[in-house]
Amino acid sequence: MRIAILFGAAIISSALSGILAYGFTYLDGTRGLNSWQWMFLLEGLPMIPLGIITCLFLSNIPDTVQWLNNSEKQLLTNLLRHDAGIANGENVRLSWRQAFYVFVDWRIYLYALIDIGILSVIKYINTYLPLLVEDMGNSKAEAHLMTAPPYVSAFVFCLLSALFLCSL
């Protein structure tokens, strides 16, 4: 189910990008900037304060986090120690053995192949769906707006299929 939420977020972000692209077409030429420049500015600027806030308030050591109770802190410490051999800042150096296992573990290659297969389809649809809708006789702005409903329905069906498969 968590993987479905992750890929569902990628799908719904495509719907939001279509709606935003529609809005950015009306900003073309405003203050001497093209619509793509407005898109980079308005989508990128919120990431700067978000990154600063994350860096200041999100701790990477479970014992220093105030919003977890003691049992959750202990669980996270045990998971970190078991998974990577690190917890609470101890043994933070990457060993050659760990780096070697990254390149010889067949599961990493299998996951990469699955991920490439899924994400390449999403990226191809993101690229070519507005072009297909535009070739149907719509303007570029309308084409971006009309791509949002298929993405929303794909998001809903992604979550519904995950719920169905989890119930089996």
- Tens of pLDDT, residue by residue over 8-49, are 888 888 888 888 888 888 888 888 989 889 888 988 899 999
| Cβ atoms of residues 12 and 152 within 8 Å | yes
* Structural domain boundaries, residue 54: 2-68+93-167
Q: Is residue 43 part of a domain?
A: yes
Q: Is residue 30 part of a domain?
A: yes
What confidence tens digit (pLDDT) does each residue in 91-148 have? 556 678 878 888 998 999 999 999 899 888 878 888 888 889 889 988 888 888 888 8
E strand spans, 48-129: none
C-beta neighbour count of 18 within 10 angstroms? 24
Predicted pLDDT of residue 20: 87
In the chain, how many domains are there? 1
pTM for the model stands at 0.61
Predicted pLDDT of residue 76: 82
Q: Is residue 58 part of a domain?
A: yes
Q: Which long-range contacts (CB under 8 A, 24 or more apart) does 133-142 make?
A: 140/25, 141/21, 141/22, 141/25, 141/26, 142/22
CA-CA distance, 29 to 19, in Å (whole number)? 19
CA-CA distance, 56 to 49, in Å (whole number)? 10
The residue whose two tokens read 């990154």 is: 51
Q: Is residue 17 part of a domain?
A: yes
Q: Which two tokens stand for residue 6?
A: 């992750």
Q: Is residue 83 part of a domain?
A: no
